[in-house]
Structure 1
């Protein structure tokens, strides 16, 4: 984009939108282009912080008029930085965080920039909850549109299974409602298709009665990792819907890696104590514990490992089961990581999430499985070797987990080079999703917005 074109876009937007507009050299521009992953250093031509749906539509149409790429920033948590586009227009929804709870109807109505915390905190205050990711600062809409694994997946399904309807801005500026009585095909595509088919300016989520949960995190020494993860596998084999358990490796109290288990029990607390007890006997704990707490408090556990400004690289595999070979690969990965801020995480997909038909949503993988996340996190060192070794570690662990893995992978974690795996992940739904893409965005305007293009 030429400087003249950029100035023209900026001038039009300043004249037409209510929210602030930043261009390069403006005070606040660097803050406006900052996202969760400090490794992302993209320089959009214009950032528009939209204060209402009208701003979003105006910014979209101006970008289209000038023929420049655009991207949408919600929570800004995409590790690959797809919330920003070099030389393009960023539609920043981070000011759109209003949430209304209708306790009687069991519905949370949230603007498109709302974070997980913005939804779960007021819902918990009236004894309700919904399925979310395990980090409070993730954008609710972005997380939901691609899936939304978390501690309530066994009880309530994925976050996208709880998406009731959405206000959507299509690529031509048309504003529609995706829902059972609006546009059911658009709702189908949103439930797993990411941002490929439209910009969600508001959404409504199903809420469920939810009191205190039984949860926490227990750390075991890395020397006991193989035995602990084998025991974890045995617990998963008989886990009821109310019990969803994460596991993996985090930085331990001695500065090295420690193996962890992190249960979430969302049923009767007395029954939960018996269900969780085997997880406390998998080895000799070195830290942590389990107890009753509000769900919003439980999902604070991983905030320390998801600090904004660190540099991140992610990889992933879908594992049909946690084999001995996979356990060995994870243990070796933890022993070789380059930063104690790194993380290996296993999410159990089971229960209610598996009882949704594969063609009911764009998210097609409905068999029981384990989602493996490989997360390198580090602080840059000007005198160090740069990011390449951290990326190589992620790729190495992901490759070691590949034998026996299911095709494809979780789109929210796959990177720009993984388009083939994204399509495989949609399975038999891929052609239908591509047809929806052609219907709702025939000119491919929103390709840069998508978690990944199918």
Structure 2
């Protein structure tokens, strides 16, 4: 009996294989450059089906991978000849308004969560793109617009249900399986399939947010001013910066403030100070719903394009870091590519580094070097550009890097990100997944 036949017996109609008409669409991930061909995709509807899929893969000796929200640039959600545990149909959201918590299934995106909570003026810490899955974001970190006031996404996680490598179901939380709870908050999908996550919610009826874009000639002044602003910024103010392609294809410096405080006048002052750093040619900072703020970046994502990401952590926007970024912006390889700088500060920086697997708790910046090219073009020039930008940042970079932005060939760098927490994380991996079933997780620990 063939592997496909055995999988069909185990998984029934949930299984999609290479012989099925819908396979090509089912195997797609966000990055169209990923061409990995799994043997089958188990489109699970609940934790019991996830458990059956894990058992089936292990019985047949198939490589296993997990697709949660599907926003996968590095192709870790797919393994050649393997079985994909696909959670993209598990997107349910359950709100507890009285307790100010929300539970989501493992495939839910930020938009899924906020669509339910926002009508009640409640939010949790997410990334800055609404289509990103909450499980993949949270288990590795979760930089975002509320990081200063409410911390990383993982700092807002209250507990999680996990299907382990042997197919058993467990709950990880402060009072349940504390070691798994510690490891899940930063160690990624190395320990099992996260089928449910429960988050703390915060009241936020509106956020002052938007885009300020400046002329190319003002890039150095804008980045220098940004460094001064964020060095003394209150928790309520988180500012992204970087370079986005303008109408003529040249990269324009931008600032994207997020003011989450209740004092609207203080927020206006903060934004006015950012405006004063140059002469904005785009000024679209207005009060808006939190979900609307995330939607600002959704338009930059196309499932048809090919993507390659590089990343570095660095402590501050020093003159050397700014010079490296400006040089990279001057040689942008396509009108789709970008340089995005996220800020880590405030509440996130006050968490004890030992409290979660995520260890870097001092204020810092994280650079996303996003190289994009359309189908039919070669990746040589975008790849060379991305590599040159991070090489220029290396003299000022911190050890490691944000694992969600590092590729499989950078697993050693990703492991270095955990610093003194790495040994404990490796011990958790050996305890919960000794056979390395989840070998394609972020980052590979064994």
User: Shorter-chain TM-score: what band?
Assistant: over 0.9
Q: What is the deviation of 1:277?
A: 1.2
Over the aligned positions, Cα root-mean-square deviation in angstroms equals 1.2
Count, aligned residues: 445
Residue 377 and residue 288 in structure 1: after superposition, are their counterparts in 2 closer, same or farther (change >3 A)? farther
Partner SS state of residue 187, structure 1: helix
Q: What is the deviation of 1:449?
A: 3.3
Partner SS state of residue 297, structure 1: helix
**Counterpart of 1:207?**
201
In the alignment, structure 1 residue 429 sits paired with structure 2 residue 421: yes
**Counterpart of 1:15?**
9
Q: How many Å separate the matches in 2 of 1:313 and 1:141?
A: 22
In the alignment, structure 1 residue 154 sits paired with structure 2 residue 148: yes
For residues 342-421 of structure 1, what are the structure 2 equivalents within 5 Å? 342-381=337-376, 384=377, 386-421=378-413
Partner SS state of residue 417, structure 1: helix
**Counterpart of 1:442?**
434
Q: What is the deviation of 1:451?
A: 4.1
Partner SS state of residue 205, structure 1: strand
Flag structure 2 segments of 5+ consecutive residues without an equivalent.
Answer: none
Q: Is the 8 A contact 2:160 2:197 kept in 1?
A: yes
Q: How many Å separate the matches in 2 of 1:78 and 1:167?
A: 22
Q: How many Å separate the matches in 2 of 1:257 and 1:437?
A: 42
Q: How many Å separate the matches in 2 of 1:240 and 1:127?
A: 22
Q: Is the 8 A contact 2:321 2:396 kept in 1?
A: no
Q: What is the deviation of 1:303?
A: 1.0
Q: How many Å separate the matches in 1 of 2:86 and 2:441?
A: 12
Q: What is the deviation of 1:256?
A: 1.6
Q: How many Å separate the matches in 2 of 1:363 and 1:346?
A: 19
Q: How many Å separate the matches in 2 of 1:18 and 1:109?
A: 28
TM-score normalised by L of structure 1 = 0.96
Q: How many Å separate the matches in 1 of 2:244 and 2:13?
A: 40
Q: How many Å separate the matches in 2 of 1:72 and 1:170?
A: 12
Q: Is the 8 A contact 1:45 1:88 kept in 2?
A: yes
In the alignment, structure 1 residue 168 sits paired with structure 2 residue 162: yes
Flag structure 1 segments of 5+ consecutive residues without an equivalent.
Answer: none
Q: How many Å separate the matches in 1 of 2:98 and 2:404?
A: 32
Write the deviation string for residues 38-59 of structure 1: whole angstroms up to 9, x where unpaired: 1001110011111111111101
Of residues 177, 183, 205 in structure 2, which corresponds to 1:183?
177
Residue 439 and residue 171 in structure 1: after superposition, are their counterparts in 2 closer, same or farther (change >3 A)? same
In the alignment, structure 1 residue 328 sits paired with structure 2 residue 323: yes
Q: Is the 8 A contact 1:194 1:452 kept in 2?
A: no
**Counterpart of 1:74?**
68
Q: Is the 8 A contact 1:411 1:452 kept in 2?
A: no
Q: How many Å separate the matches in 2 of 1:450 and 1:54?
A: 24
Write the deviation string for residues 247-296 of structure 1: whole angstroms up to 9, x where unpaired: 00001133321110000000122221112211111111111321100000
Write the deviation string for residues 366-405 of structure 1: whole angstroms up to 9, x where unpaired: 0000111100112123xx4x11221111111011011121
Q: Is the 8 A contact 2:244 2:251 kept in 1?
A: yes
Of residues 102, 108, 117 in structure 1, which corresponds to 2:96?
102
Q: Is the 8 A contact 2:140 2:442 kept in 1?
A: no
Of residues 268, 291, 297 in structure 1, which corresponds to 2:292?
297
Q: Is the 8 A contact 2:250 2:332 kept in 1?
A: no
